[in-house]
Structure 1
Amino acid sequence: MSHALFVNLTEPTAESFPATSVSKYLIELIGKDVCAFRRNTQVSYRLVERARIIATGINNLIKRVDSEDDWDAYDKYTQAIEPLEDSLIPLTDIVEKERDQYLVTGKLESVDFCSAFIEAWATQRSDIRKRLEILRTKKEFATLLGDSLTATDEDIKDAYQHDDMNFLQELVRVVGTYTPRTHGIRPRAHNIILDVVKQIKSVQSQLIISYDKAQDASIVLSIQSAMVIYSAMELIKNTKLDAEWLAHARSEAIWKAAQSLLVDLNAHLAKGTPQLVDVQTKYDEFLRLLRGSMAVDLPANFVQLMKHTGRIGRSYHAQALYIVTLCRELVKHFEKATNKTAQNLEPLKSTIDETIKALEAARQKDVALTKFDLESFDASVTSVAFNTARDEIKDCFDKYGMSNEWSTHSAELEKAIAKDKARMKQVNDGLVKAIVAVPQEAARISVGVKVLKEGKTLHTLNYGLRSETRLSAIQWAASKETYPDKTSGKSILANSHFEKDGKTLSMDLDLKSVVSAGAKCELSLVIDSSRSVGSPASSVSSGSPTSSTSSISSSSSGSS
């Protein structure tokens, strides 16, 4: 790291004050990482420089306030301190990730590692540029500094172009040094690779010409294409990788796909056709082929896993959910292109078969809540089936190279079993006693409600309710049924009351206080005409009332 560069980027050019101490620390922390960058350099230098200029501006205004009693300066600097800190804090993580990165991932172990590395480059490039734009354009900073210390758009564009083209130039250089014969490339692919190198150089030339006019997405895809081809070349050098994959990666088919991608990319940059989306499809197809994707389908019974859990009694509920989760995790691993092989299919199929057997054993035909036999639970036929499924799942994790994850999953599975047992014990100890039979219709009170306003009947409603139901519950049900609009319904609740035989009733009364057992109760819900209430849900023509027999008696009884 150049000490001079670090000082130039981070050293304040004015006296620092405690109010900016956090920003000063963050600028130094970020600047230290940025000075070590090998890509996205010019944009990052401007970002740190801009942050330092803002911090200096704040310090200058603090000093002015000390000497001039300037409230305008006070307002400007106090409004900028926290936004500057908020802008810098996320950058510490961004620059730490970017610090040691360059052309290709250090983990040259799989196509997935390379693909993730390439996507991370695009994300970090975008994040750094977005952070610079915030520091350039955020109102608090622009007000603080004015236009005199703001980098021009042209300067920023130059920084963008410098970073992109220098990075691409280095990729083109290393790709150009690749020698197919040295790394076991099949003879028929030699000339294709030579043309791939030629096409990458052409992409570079096209971008030099059209950078200012090109869409940013086109620039990104151009660099990503060079990165993925360079990554493929480096992966092929790693003789420790699977021999079958290496033979596949050295084949003519792979490099024809790379060639086709670059031909279309060049045409897109030069003429605008094919469209970017079509070039992106070619890029994705090259990645798919490079991974060695095979046309192997998931076991047909995989979807059956979701169809069992709703019919499983509480004894095995949590355990069933967790083993289904484990099966889904195995499927997720299998569906990665490099894992989708016939060899990996068999253990997955066996695992799902055994899991479905366990779920079928746990299906409960009778949904009535009963006492649970906790003593014989572990030795039951169903528990044995779950143990078999568990063993099969563990074997599949081992075969997929996921053994390190199993200890965590095993512990979680034990927690699920304990959770089921605890709930069963809770039911045995108390919940069964609390189950109360639902009253028969004969035990309910027939209630008729007329909704009145200014002496006119707007609605007639009928309910079958339990004797404990409060009038406030009936008012709520009637307002929901006749005035579903929330505003009108709220107004009804606030501006209506019940009457019976000309007397106003308290909303706190229950039905058994209003009517004798077995008798029918007739109530009037009177809307206060002095208050404005919205139109009812059903229009009333010529003053004729609407009548309905409510289907909400069960919910009303639930409210009681």
Structure 2
Amino acid sequence: MSAQKYSLFEALTAKSSASPDYPVTDLIDTLIKVCARDICSFKFNHQTSYTLISRARDIRDEINVCIQAVQDLHNDSDWDKYDQYTKAIDDLEDVLLKFARFSEVYSQASPLSLENITVHTIVDEIKKWKADQTSLRDHLRKLHKSDGDLTAIKPERSQDADLLLRENYDDFNVLSKFCVNFTDRTWNNARYYSGASKSVTNIIASIKVIQTTISGKIQDPSISSALTFSVEAMLLVNLAAKMAKDETDGEKLKTLRSGKVWNQAESLVNTLKAHLTGSEPTIADLKTKWEEFLAILKGIAPPELFPPKSYVDLRKKVASVRRPFFAQAMALVKLSRTLVEHIQSSQDQKFVDDVAEIESLFNKSLETFKKAAEALTSVTDFNAETAQAINAAFTDINNDIGKCFTKYELSDWATRSAEMSAAAKADSDRMAEFEKLKNKASTTDTINNDTQVTVRISGLKSSAYTVSEKTALSALLWKISREDADSNKLLGKAFFQDRSNKRLGDETEVGTLSKDGGEVALVLATGG
């Protein structure tokens, strides 16, 4: 049997044979392709995202079919199809534009990656995973809501039960990854857990029961909450295993591989198993067990490194911000630096407790830099509307830093807070000066469009250049003088002459020496 050619991108975007092309749906068609390209790179939530974009594709096709029906009308009494497709276009574009912003970021994300998660960041990582999960599913529901214009034009093919199945399957896929990751023998060699090998063996057995139980209830709406929590539980157990595998400090290593840790892990996993198999524990009980286990791991793990990487990256990202916001970027780094230096010089425990909060502040600062960097593709794109939006973002993060200054009792925030306003004014003043040159700067460089002339030089130096016809001989002399130290000595002594030994002024343009665009022969000479 011959192999069938298959492309996920084509499957998600291709028009049906009954769907004609119309200019009015061109934006929708483009957005579907943009989103589909991103979706093909998603690490999680595959089935949900495929369902979303295929639903959008089907609605687009039905809009085109409605348009065709309107073209075929021969009376003015039937407006149903027209009203249907004109209402649906705006709604579908709205959903796709919002989803495109989400999918661009999500396609590059590696959520719940053990490589990046620590006991200090796991809570925030889980929150982000849930938020992304909710956002994706909200977009899907907008395409399937029963009372909307999109459903009116294309009755939903997938019912809620089918959507829930796909969402549960996506979560089960994540869970399975962590389950397999833990039961892999490379993670659970007996030498890692000499003091808790029985607990680890029991955990592995319970994990298999958890997988089987959830797999059998995958179509049950009531399993969703327990499934989500199962991902959280297995993520934490895997993190503990990673710590037990990677730790280099002898005492901490002994604790991480001891019964103290793995008896607690076993209790968490067994409570989850009991909940799934119909026993008494509630989701609230499970969360308590989870938090208790996390607290034990936090007590073993070293304090989170300070300052966080996001702070270190701030000064690197300044270079990505174009000049219209450069002074504000520098002001933000300066305030951040003052805050970090104050924290580093203090021994106050409250800073240790607030590491995650402070890191979130610097992450937001990086996001502000990103907005500023992406707001313009060139300094000539600068306009008042863009400036207002980016200046507001800098003001917002400045206010957040101010709260930290107040919380940690740094003095003189009233004065320091004005630095961002002063920076915004400095940026504005700089661009006001540039405004006078903006038209000239934004004009396409025409030199490369000039007629090109080849110039061959003999005499003191032998070389050949292809240059614009408007190039002055002074430019060629400058070029030659910079080629080596000996050539530099020619300045003040050398000049060009033509083949008839006529001396030529430095201001002479090579185009005036060329006949019908032909080559120009010059001699570089010295003398009187």
User: Normalising to structure 1: TM-score of the pair?
Assistant: 0.50
Asked if structure 1 preserves the Cα contact closer than 8 Å seen for 2:172 and 2:227, the reply is: no
Asked if structure 2 preserves the Cα contact closer than 8 Å seen for 1:188 and 1:252, the reply is: yes
Asked if structure 1 preserves the Cα contact closer than 8 Å seen for 2:209 and 2:273, the reply is: yes
Which structure's CA Rg is the greater one?
A: 1
Distance (Å, rounded) in 1 between the aligned partners of 2:418 and 2:84: 61
Go from structure 1 to structure 2 and tell me whether the alpha carbon gap of 1:141 and 1:418 turns closer, same or farther (over 3 Å shift).
closer
Does residue 223 (structure 1) correspond to residue 245 (structure 2)? The answer is no
Aligned with 1:36: secondary structure?
Answer: coil
Asked if structure 1 preserves the Cα contact closer than 8 Å seen for 2:112 and 2:129, the reply is: no
1:254 to 253, 261, 277: 261
Go from structure 1 to structure 2 and tell me whether the alpha carbon gap of 1:173 and 1:17 turns closer, same or farther (over 3 Å shift).
same
Distance (Å, rounded) in 1 between the aligned partners of 2:89 and 2:143: 12
Instruction: Return the offset for 1:89.
Output: 2.3
1:295-336 Cα offsets, whole Å, 9 max, x none, are x9xxxxxxxxxxxxxxxxxxxxxx9xx98xx77997664115
Instruction: Return the offset for 1:259.
Output: 0.7
1:434-470 Cα offsets, whole Å, 9 max, x none, are xxxxxxxxxxxxxxxxxxxxxxxxxxxxxxxxxxxxx
Does residue 199 (structure 1) correspond to residue 217 (structure 2)? The answer is no
Does residue 141 (structure 1) correspond to residue 144 (structure 2)? The answer is no
Go from structure 1 to structure 2 and tell me whether the alpha carbon gap of 1:16 and 1:237 turns closer, same or farther (over 3 Å shift).
farther
Does residue 11 (structure 1) correspond to residue 14 (structure 2)? The answer is yes
Q: Which runs of 5+ in 1 are unaligned?
A: 297-318, 340-405, 422-560
Aligned with 2:196: secondary structure?
Answer: helix
Distance (Å, rounded) in 2 between the aligned partners of 1:419 and 1:46: 48
Go from structure 1 to structure 2 and tell me whether the alpha carbon gap of 1:332 and 1:32 turns closer, same or farther (over 3 Å shift).
farther
Distance (Å, rounded) in 1 between the aligned partners of 2:111 and 2:251: 26
Does residue 163 (structure 1) correspond to residue 154 (structure 2)? The answer is no
Does residue 417 (structure 1) correspond to residue 421 (structure 2)? The answer is no
Q: AA paired with 1:60?
A: V
Instruction: Return the offset for 1:222.
Output: 1.2
Residue 41 of structure 2 corresponds to 36
Instruction: Return the offset for 1:337.
Output: 8.7
Residue 518 of structure 1 corresponds to none
1:55 to 32, 47, 60: 60
Asked if structure 2 preserves the Cα contact closer than 8 Å seen for 1:104 and 1:231, the reply is: no
| Matched residues, number | 324
Distance (Å, rounded) in 2 between the aligned partners of 1:37 and 1:248: 37
Asked if structure 2 preserves the Cα contact closer than 8 Å seen for 1:64 and 1:73, the reply is: yes
Distance (Å, rounded) in 2 between the aligned partners of 1:292 and 1:260: 18
Distance (Å, rounded) in 2 between the aligned partners of 1:333 and 1:253: 28
Does residue 292 (structure 1) correspond to residue 299 (structure 2)? The answer is yes
Structure 1, 96-105 or 111-120: larger mean CA deviation: 96-105
Go from structure 1 to structure 2 and tell me whether the alpha carbon gap of 1:337 and 1:214 turns closer, same or farther (over 3 Å shift).
farther
Asked if structure 1 preserves the Cα contact closer than 8 Å seen for 2:117 and 2:125, the reply is: no
Distance (Å, rounded) in 2 between the aligned partners of 1:330 and 1:89: 46
Residue 123 of structure 1 corresponds to 131
Distance (Å, rounded) in 2 between the aligned partners of 1:100 and 1:419: 35
Instruction: Return the offset for 1:235.
Output: 3.8
Distance (Å, rounded) in 2 between the aligned partners of 1:105 and 1:186: 23
Distance (Å, rounded) in 2 between the aligned partners of 1:61 and 1:223: 44
Go from structure 1 to structure 2 and tell me whether the alpha carbon gap of 1:419 and 1:34 turns closer, same or farther (over 3 Å shift).
closer
Residue 66 of structure 1 corresponds to 71
1:244-290 Cα offsets, whole Å, 9 max, x none, are 65554333222221111111111111124111111111112222222
Asked if structure 2 preserves the Cα contact closer than 8 Å seen for 1:292 and 1:338, the reply is: no
Q: Which runs of 5+ in 2 are unaligned?
A: 304-334, 358-403, 420-528
Aligned with 1:16: secondary structure?
Answer: coil
Aligned pairs for 1:465-544 (under 5 A) are: none
Q: AA paired with 1:284?
A: E
Asked if structure 1 preserves the Cα contact closer than 8 Å seen for 2:181 and 2:187, the reply is: no
Does residue 214 (structure 1) correspond to residue 234 (structure 2)? The answer is no
Aligned with 2:222: secondary structure?
Answer: coil
Distance (Å, rounded) in 2 between the aligned partners of 1:176 and 1:103: 21
Asked if structure 1 preserves the Cα contact closer than 8 Å seen for 2:35 and 2:103, the reply is: yes
Residue 391 of structure 1 corresponds to none
Distance (Å, rounded) in 1 between the aligned partners of 2:149 and 2:60: 12
Instruction: Return the offset for 1:51.
Output: 0.7
Instruction: Return the offset for 1:33.
Output: 1.9
Go from structure 1 to structure 2 and tell me whether the alpha carbon gap of 1:110 and 1:227 turns closer, same or farther (over 3 Å shift).
closer
Asked if structure 2 preserves the Cα contact closer than 8 Å seen for 1:105 and 1:113, the reply is: no
Instruction: Return the offset for 1:46.
Output: 0.7
Go from structure 1 to structure 2 and tell me whether the alpha carbon gap of 1:331 and 1:65 turns closer, same or farther (over 3 Å shift).
farther
Distance (Å, rounded) in 1 between the aligned partners of 2:347 and 2:30: 43
Go from structure 1 to structure 2 and tell me whether the alpha carbon gap of 1:331 and 1:188 turns closer, same or farther (over 3 Å shift).
closer
Q: AA paired with 1:5?
A: L
Residue 290 of structure 2 corresponds to 283
Go from structure 1 to structure 2 and tell me whether the alpha carbon gap of 1:37 and 1:109 turns closer, same or farther (over 3 Å shift).
closer
Instruction: Return the offset for 1:135.
Output: 0.5
1:152 to 156, 159, 176: 159
Aligned with 2:182: secondary structure?
Answer: helix
Asked if structure 1 preserves the Cα contact closer than 8 Å seen for 2:214 and 2:223, the reply is: no
Asked if structure 2 preserves the Cα contact closer than 8 Å seen for 1:57 and 1:144, the reply is: yes
Question: What is the CA RMSD across the aligned residues, in angstroms?
Answer: 4.1
Aligned pairs for 1:268-417 (under 5 A) are: 268-292=275-299, 333-335=351-353, 416-417=414-415
Asked if structure 2 preserves the Cα contact closer than 8 Å seen for 1:108 and 1:114, the reply is: no
Aligned pairs for 1:18-29 (under 5 A) are: 18-29=23-34
Residue 92 of structure 2 corresponds to 84
Instruction: Return the offset for 1:291.
Output: 1.9
Asked if structure 2 preserves the Cα contact closer than 8 Å seen for 1:34 and 1:95, the reply is: yes
Aligned with 2:51: secondary structure?
Answer: helix
Go from structure 1 to structure 2 and tell me whether the alpha carbon gap of 1:111 and 1:183 turns closer, same or farther (over 3 Å shift).
farther
Distance (Å, rounded) in 1 between the aligned partners of 2:353 and 2:206: 32
Distance (Å, rounded) in 1 between the aligned partners of 2:416 and 2:137: 51
Asked if structure 1 preserves the Cα contact closer than 8 Å seen for 2:199 and 2:263, the reply is: yes
Distance (Å, rounded) in 2 between the aligned partners of 1:96 and 1:179: 35
User: Normalising to structure 2: TM-score of the pair?
Assistant: 0.53
Does residue 232 (structure 1) correspond to residue 240 (structure 2)? The answer is yes
Go from structure 1 to structure 2 and tell me whether the alpha carbon gap of 1:51 and 1:6 turns closer, same or farther (over 3 Å shift).
same
Distance (Å, rounded) in 1 between the aligned partners of 2:29 and 2:102: 18
Q: AA paired with 1:111?
A: V
Distance (Å, rounded) in 2 between the aligned partners of 1:186 and 1:23: 56
